[in-house]
Structure 1
Amino acid sequence: MINQSKHLATRPYTAISYMPSLSPRRIRTPHLPPMHPLETRNTMTYVTGEATRFSPSCFAIRRGSAPASLIHSSTGVNRKKSDYSLPLPPLPLPYIPSTSSPGAQSVSGLYTPQVLACLHKLPDYNFPIFELNKLVQGHALLVLLHYLCVESGLLSRLGLDADVFMVFAQRIEQGYHPEQPFHNSVHAADVVHTIHWLAMLPQIQRHLTDVDLLSIYVAGAIHDYDHPGVTNKYLSSINHPLAIRYNNQSVLESHHAASGMEVLTTADCDFLSSRTGTGNNSSYIDVRKREAIKSLIVEMVLATDLAKHSELLSKWKVQTLSGESFDPKTVAGHKIILFQTMIKCADVANPTKCTSIYYVWLDRISAEFYAQGDAEKTHKIPISAYMDRDHPDVKGCQLSFCQYIVAPLFEAFHAIIPCHDVIQGLNANVQMWHDTNDTEEWLKRIGVDYGERATEGLEGRFF
């Protein structure tokens, strides 16, 4: 159990690596359906809703596919109306990826010496996720899941079929929309890495079972599955079918969880029901434990709703600071609140990362914010805070986010489970904002000419 009397640690934290050997000879090659590098995938298929027919252009960001008045740009001040456009809603309902496209490449084929060198950095909190994503041609999520769950021996120890798991992983990765600057598979991969880093903290690692590790990795992978790049508030404001379906309660989070579970229960993706070996050597997770795992994953995904931030933070404080022993290994309620807090931390961790990584994520989330603001103008509904490209306030947005969301969450977590690297990164970025006079100064500091800025230039400029 976690000793609260020592929750204000003074010694620096040293990361513990829970990684397999990086020898290329150990890379196992599950049989996978073919896949393309993400940048070559230019068509998508959506289901048809009962009342509305959804097409690939519903909310996909494509050059020349929508009115020029709806511009997708991270800065949006006086920029030319070209390059990226954001078509009007309706938004797509669950994405059905293709599993039979030409140009196949195996997971093992992605493990070049450069990729292996990059994976050596997994114990680093500031893991270069964008570098990895470029090296593996847009498949960072797939590679991380393979590495953490297959190469680590995790699935083997649980007696689960790695081939089935990797089909699931590929379907999940394909269910993210690469056109979204922020809520895409790279963000999911970043959350998987961050939650892995938190899980390897000594105060947490000793409480975790293999089933726990598998659960948190899967939850991180699906937590924004099929994200349309807008907020719950926006979906409710336009009476989107998803908002109606989920009664305006945790709309996106419910959609991510339900859609992710739907993939998991598909016959060729149901790795929890798979087994390896035959006869006495066969092992599998029984029905009762499978349902418990699914329930835990859903609880974690639902906890990422920002509207539940105060509720989650209060629960964490009650559980950890009430004077009772906090024992996530044996007390189910303690385990759930720990895992919910971990995925919540991982989801909002961008301001705690080194400035160079933080800037990329900030640029990307700003792009989605301003695109939503444009859509809100078109619908003649109030523009959400910090989403008006004509009145940008990046500094105000980030200071508010850090002050009311990120800092309280990580400080409460750090009080029980010391994570000095995280707190130092957050403090450095907050201080950077205090030293910055306004948004224009920030844009100049990172080298953005906001008169010409386009989200399309992200990859060429940053990595």
Structure 2
Amino acid sequence: MIGEILVVDPAQSPVPDTVTQLFDPLQTKFTTFPNITSLCIYLSTYASYTFTKGPAGLERTSNVDEVELDHFVGLLINTDKHGDGSALDRLPFAQQQKLLSYRFHHLNLVVECLSLSDAQVGAKLCEHFVPTLHKIRNLIKTRLLRVQTWVGLTDYDKIPQLNTMPTMLRTTVDIPTGMEYITLLSSDIRYIELLKIPHDDAYYKKKIADWEFHAFELTNDELLYCGYLMILRVLKDYKAEFQTPEFHNRVLLFFFCVRDYYRQGNPFHNFRHAIDVMQATNYFLETIVESAYEFQFGTHERLALLLAAVGHDIGHPGTTNAFLSSYKTPIAKIFNNESTLEKYHLAQYLNIMKCFFVKDDRCVEIARWSILATDMAQHDMYVGEMDRIADYKERPEKLKLMCAIILKSADISNVCRPIGEGVKWGLSLGNEFAEIAQLESVLKGEAPVQRSAVPQVSLAKITPHEAVQMEPKLGASQMFFINRFALDFFTKVVQIIPPLSCLSRELHKNIDFWQVTGRTGN
């Protein structure tokens, strides 16, 4: 049973045998930290949360692998000696436990504060700590089990540390406490130093400005940095307090938090999709600003839309609203089977966003309108509203619809990207739907519970023709989506916002490709 035990001990004393003997030495990695700050740096640095067995024992996988958490993570805070370094280290033990449980809840983190010199430490850990870790491991050891657990179809409710959809709605802190945690973390840690960025800013700014955004060629660190650069671009028009290194570090921490709560193993609805949608939103807004289009978004409105874009699918479990309703999941009941995913994303995201942008009620409202508009069940309603946009006389009313149009356009813009990028997103979405079908077969008793999910392959370098060979039905699925949702919608988008004509132009190029190549497989 692979797992990781982290120990915070300012004295750096050896971990007692009574503790190490509780775990298989070949399956468990122990790591000791001198203080809370070094622990937070360690946990924040990794975008992949799994191990491989190397010559020296268990080793972390590279962030490039983008593998989601499949093992337990336990944390022991030794109360024999209190840290005396940074403000984080000087927090009372109970506050340290609360902060870490909140910030790293995505790791299903189980935290115990106790004296490691206590002769009964082993027995105390056997009461709750060790059993909880084993229960968590049993619920997350395979991809399909993880998805079941996230949506609440396992015994998730007995383990509050699990990062499930229902528990995330309960795992919140009040805004003043959240702001205090952010201040502590951003004061003690320079987040730019935790990123591996192989190129200069000009390289990423050029990619951001290109409609053929190569999201699959970028690592998670690079994607995060692209998001950060897009926000800085808007913030440059704000007052001086937003131009300081301290504030920029808070913005980076914000992106670390957002990235951590996207599910790495989702084939489609992951952090890459979030940044892709953010880049599309940014491209639309920049194009409109540079044009003579009559409706211009203000600086604050552009910031709010970019924030909505990066958080619009946060916490996505890799299923659909229909799945959540059909299997009577707890989260579907909470939201009365109406826009379940979108309302969940919004609720979870606002818990994060309000702690970073507490004074920006306007940001919250625009996020609310825009994220809820991404529910495809509401698609036809929005298409109908676009026909009546001339009737929107007041700017606040028109702004609401325009924000929805921008984020909806960005969210489903894959079919309007140049075909080389579009096929990668088409394959990703197809893989996610295939996983849902596999999970349903398990839940219906038609397949074994331990059945593996759809194997994932790297899509960074795949060509359109290779994509068709890999999935012969890709053209049919793309044309179905185009005919059912995209063609009419983007035709009207371009009629309303002529500067975005690239959407219609690329869409028709892709239609030509699929009609000639995609359906025949030649």
Change (3 A) 1:209 1:263: same
Instruction: Please state how far the C-alpha of 1:39 moved relative to its aligned partner.
Output: 3.2
1:199-245 residue CA offsets vs partner (Å, 9 max, x unmatched): 12225696121211110011001100000011000000111111010
* Corresponding residue to 1:367 among 421, 428, 431: 431
Q: Which one-letter code corresponds to 2:323 in the other structure?
A: Y
Flag the 1:220–1:33 CA change in 2: closer, same or farther, 3 A. Answer: farther
| Alignment correspondent of 2:464 | none
Q: Conserved in 2, the CA contact under 8 Å of 1:148 and 1:154?
A: no
Whether 1:304 aligns to 2:374 is yes
* CA RMSD, Structure 1 to Structure 2 (Å): 3.6
- The total of aligned residue pairs comes to 349
**SS class of match (1:315):** helix
Q: Which has the higher strand share?
A: 2
1:18-417 equivalences under 5 Å are 34=41, 35-40=44-49, 43=69, 44-46=106-108, 55=136, 58=139, 65-66=141-142, 89-91=148-150, 92-93=164-165, 106=192, 110-113=196-199, 116-131=202-217, 133-134=218-219, 138-150=220-232, 152-154=234-236, 156-157=238-239, 159-160=241-242, 161-201=247-287, 202-203=291-292, 207-265=296-354, 270-273=355-358, 285=359, 290-320=360-390, 322=391, 331-380=395-444, 393-417=473-497
Q: Please, which moves more after superposition, 207-216 or 246-255?
A: 207-216
Please list the CA deviations of residues 97-128 of structure 1 after superposition, one character each: whole Å capped at 9, or x if unmatched.
9998xx98626854543563132232221122
Question: How far 1:148 sits from its partner (Å)?
Answer: 1.7
Partner of 2:517: 436
Q: Which moved more, 1:91-100 or 1:372-381?
A: 91-100
Map Cα deviations across residues 146-186 of structure 1 (whole Å, 9 max, x no partner): 21222554474384443333322221111101111110000
Which residue number corresponds to residue 460 of structure 1?
A: none
Deviation at 1:333, TM superposition (A): 0.8
Contact 1:223 1:301 in 2 (8 A): yes
With 90-99 and 346-355 compared, the bigger mean Cα shift is at: 90-99
Amino acid at match of 1:190: D
Q: Which amino acid is the alignment partner of residue 48 of structure 2?
A: E
Moved over 6 A (4+): 96-100
Bigger Cα displacement from structure 2, 151-160 vs 400-409: 151-160
Greater displacement, 86-95 / 407-416: 86-95
Residue identity matched to 2:508: N
User: Which one has the bigger helix percentage?
Assistant: 2
2:28 match: none
- 1:167 maps to a residue whose letter is L
Cα distance between partner residues in 2 of 1:428 and 1:57: 48
Secondary structure of 2:148's counterpart equals coil
Amino acid at match of 1:319: I
AA partner of residue 428 (structure 2):
R
TM-superposed CA distance for 1:360, in Å, is: 1.1
Match of 1:426 among 507, 517, 521: 507
Cα distance in 1 for partners of 2:268, 2:405 equals 21
Instruction: From the superposition, tell whether residues 55 and 154 of structure 1 become closer, same or farther in structure 2 (CA, over 3 Å).
Output: farther
After superposition, the C-alpha distances for 1:288-308 in whole angstroms (9 at most, x for unaligned) are xx2232111111000000000
Letter in 2 for 1:256: H
Does the 8 A contact of 2:197 with 2:222 survive in 1?
A: no
Aligned-pair identity in percent equals 19
Q: CA, structure 1 residues 214+368, in 2 after alignment: closer, same or farther (shift >3 Å)? A: same
Contact map agreement 2:197 2:221 (CA 8 A) in 1? no
Cα offset, 1:393, TM superposition = 4.0
Q: Aligned partners of 1:204 and 1:175: how far apart in 2?
A: 36
Task: Report which of the two structures shows the higher radius of gyration computed on alpha carbons.
Answer: 2
Contact 2:263 2:271 (8 Å CA) reproduced:
yes
Contact 1:399 1:430 (8 Å CA) reproduced: yes
1:163 and 1:105 map into 2 onto residues whose CA distance is: 6
Residue pair 2:474, 2:518 contacting (<8 A) in 1 also: no
Q: Within 2, Cα distance between the matches of 1:158 and 1:316?
A: 38
Contact 1:182 1:364 in 2 (8 A): yes
Is the Cα–Cα contact under 8 Å of residues 346 and 371 in structure 2 kept in the other structure?
yes
CA distance, structure 1, for counterparts of residue 194 and residue 205 of structure 2? 14
Structure with greater contact order relative to length (CA < 8 Å, sep ≥ 6)? 1
Q: CA separation of 1:380/1:316 partners in 2, compared to 1, >3 Å: closer, same or farther?
A: same
- Label 1:437 to 1:179 Cα distance change in 2 as closer, same or farther (>3 A): closer
Deviation string 1:405-441 (CA, Å, 9 cap, x unpaired) is 1111111010121223221211121122212364xx5
Contact 1:191 1:220 in 2 (8 A): yes
TM-score, length of structure 1 as denominator length: 0.67
Structure 2 portions without partners, runs of 5+:
1-38, 51-67, 70-105, 111-132, 151-163, 173-180, 447-453, 456-470
Q: Which runs of 5+ in 1 are unaligned?
A: 1-31, 67-83, 274-284, 383-387, 446-463
The answer to whether the 8 A contact 2:321-2:340 is kept is yes
Paired with 2:292 and 2:274, the residues of 1 have a C-alpha distance of 24
Instruction: Tell me how far apart the structure 1 counterparts of residues 222 and 195 of structure 2 sit (CA, whole Å).
Output: 13
TM-score (norm. length: structure 2): 0.60
